[in-house]
Chains A and B, each alone.
Chain A
Amino acid sequence: MSVTSVPPVPLSRRVLPLVMLSPAVLVTLAIVFLPMVQALWMSLHDYVLFRPKNFDFVGLKNFIAVWQDPVFWTSLRHTVIWIAITVPAQMLLGLATALLLNQNFPWRGLARALVIIPWALPSVVIALMWVWIYDSNFGVLNELMLRFNMISAAIPWLANPDTALYAIILTLTWQGFPFFAVMILAGLQSIPQSYYEAASIDGASQFRQFWHITLPGLSGVLMTATLLRVIWVANSIDVIYVMTGGGPGYSTYTLPLYALVKARTGLDYGYGSALAVSFTILLLGFVILYLRRAGRNIA
């Protein structure tokens, strides 16, 4: 038995990757980690912006207040509903769209380009557009539903606490589904055609082919895209802010929005930071669980 000795890697080769990575790492540290540490530090203080000279350390007081704050629990419930409906709805719609766009039909290239439009539009534009769609006086949604006798009176979709959150969820679903569609379309094209041909020869139905070839083939893409969307949707406040500002009352408050209102409008940066840190910990816990579970399933 012979032992082959591996030649030592020169120092320059070992250091080079670190040197190449360092600008990106430094920038990330400066614009992501530093503000995170600052937020954590502020959350342990009483810090109201219009009293900038008072910066008293209060330990976990803000976190205890968060725990006892009914608006925190309302916002948390809305955040869970917000993520639990929006992300699966975007995924299903994206999956259906990708399957359609993967078929051969005339103008397929144009259809693929058009489907990306909602994703490419700025959130503020989308929010304003949907505010008009939902408008109780001039909105096209009420107009159509009244014409088809689906409702007997115009519904103030965004001013009714029972419908406001779901109306915004529909808006965000529309905005985000192209992301899933594009990702899934790329995944579909990476599944070898020979799998389908073999399954077809064995007599597998279309549904069986989808269930046993397409879905397993897409699992990696779906896992990554879902994780990204959960994080993005959870943190998304621009559409809510423009459409309702969190109202009526607390009907459309989510945790990031509540943190923003407390810090930026209420100028209570100590409490706002405690809300943001609490939410980050909750989201981080979910992401870790998800990665473990999804990673195991894929393996």
Chain B
Amino acid sequence: MTFATKKTTPRRMTLAAAMLAGTALAGAVQAAEVNFWYHFDNADNPMSALVEKFEAENPGITINAENVPWNSYYDQLYTSIVAGTGPDAALVKLNAQPRLIEMGALAPLDDWLAEWDGKAEVQDNLFTLTAAADGAQYYLPVQYVILYLYYRTDMFAELGLTPPATCDEFREAAKALTRDTDGDGQTDVYGFGFRGGKGGHDHWASLTVSRDGAGFGPGELTSEAGVAGTQFVLDLFQKDKVFPPSAPNDGFKEIIGAFQGGQTAMTIHHIGSSAGMVEALGDKVAATPVPECGGGHWTSFGDESTAVFSDAQDKEAAWKWISFLSSPGNNAEFNKATGQLPVTKSDSASWDGHDKVFVDATVASLPYAQLLPNTSETADFANTVWPVAMQRALIGEITAAEMNAEIDALYND
């Protein structure tokens, strides 16, 4: 038996290379991985069920879903993107969008959206709200909430109070609710649980930015109305003493814990915490829109979307995963885990994930729900400028006018 030695021709080499490349490509498709970052407060979140369902429907794509702690979520996201170790897709808020675009970190979704059947299922205004300043769509909405006022129905009934509709009523109610209930000479219930730490800008804005003439535009916060709003917050703490003394440092855990534990009679948060509230307090908790202050209403629209990053190893696979999360059925499952509200029309129509009173308060707040300015400064505002300025104002180091001037300078200088 003889073997003829065949001469390797360029054509054969090209063919072999193409076959090799094809094999490698097929391998790559088979081994597509999507590293997905998200943040859930809920410790026993059922994300794994969604991942399993997706992987069964999309063989060849593996989802590595990582729950990143909220406190350092954006610190880690930005640094990992610059270091080249960022995720392929992630849960993102609108106030991070300008920075992520500036970094060139986001992949536009427009082409995929144009061909996606699920687009018509997403509630109409959400794409408008999450559109980028350059007209492109980088975010795919996945959940939303609107902040409202939680109050203790039993305490209100005991004192013959009605839920406050205006800032004046809010102040009077908070003063009446701040009391010593066990006769030991110590105040043990405070009228309002104010979040003075990171993330508390929503509380402050509801009582300040709502006022006619106040806002984030040039000179609006330093106007009489803007300063009066911040002074109102300071007076509640310093003069009326209706916030717990720990308010300057209090964060999410503290305000929710104090409300559930009966140390505060009102606080501001969203439907995401309602299940825990009902579990702790039963029918002693209800919700109502935040009060109207100084002639206007303002509450925070809490958006959450998903995005595909421009450095994603397989953008197509990442898009499949995020569009899966915003599709009917899956979106409902996702929101049952986060405790927030679904973005799809059919899931919203059949939604039974929350008690009616909290859904009603959310819907009633929708007409005046606002987003913080869609600029790069908002991340600084929320993460550093507002918390430090608010704490300094609460402890008397700076005045209301000085605090507002710092925020005005951030946005408008």
Contact = CB atoms under 8 A, between A and B. Distances in A.
Interface of A: 49-52, 135-138, 146, 152-156, 158-161, 244-251, 261, 264-267
Contact of B99 (A50, A248, A264): A50
Contacts of B79: 49, 264
7 A-B pairs with least C-beta separation? A249-B392, A156-B245, A248-B248, A248-B391, A50-B99, A156-B246, A249-B391
A161 B397 contact: yes
A137 B246 contact: yes
B397 A249 contact: yes
Contact of B82 (A52, A155, A248): A52
Contact of A248 (B196, B261, B380): B196
B246 A135 contact: yes
A246 B100 CA distance: 27
Interface in B387-402: 387-388, 391-392, 394-395, 397
Interface in B249-286: 249-250, 258, 261, 263
Given A50-B78, A136-B244, A248 B392 contact: yes
Contacts, number: 89
Of the four ranges (under 10, 10 to 19, 20 to 34, 35 or more), the interface on chain B belongs to 35 or more
Nearest to A135: B246
A247 to B, nearest CB: 5
Interface string B81-110: 010000000000000000110110000000
Interface string B184-198: 011100000000111
Contacts of A154: 186, 245
Contact of B247 (A50, A135, A159, A161): A159
A41 to B, nearest CB: 16
B102 A251 contact: no
Contacts of A49: 78-79, 82, 103
Contacts of B394: 248
Contacts of A156: 244-246, 248-249
Interface of B: 75, 78-79, 82, 99-100, 102-103, 185-187, 196-198, 244-250, 258, 261, 263, 376, 380, 383-384, 387-388, 391-392, 394-395, 397
B75 A265 contact: yes
A155 B246 CA distance: 9
Nearest to B247: A159
A145 to B, nearest CB: 12
Contacts of A50: 78, 99-100, 102-103, 376
A138 B260 CA distance: 13
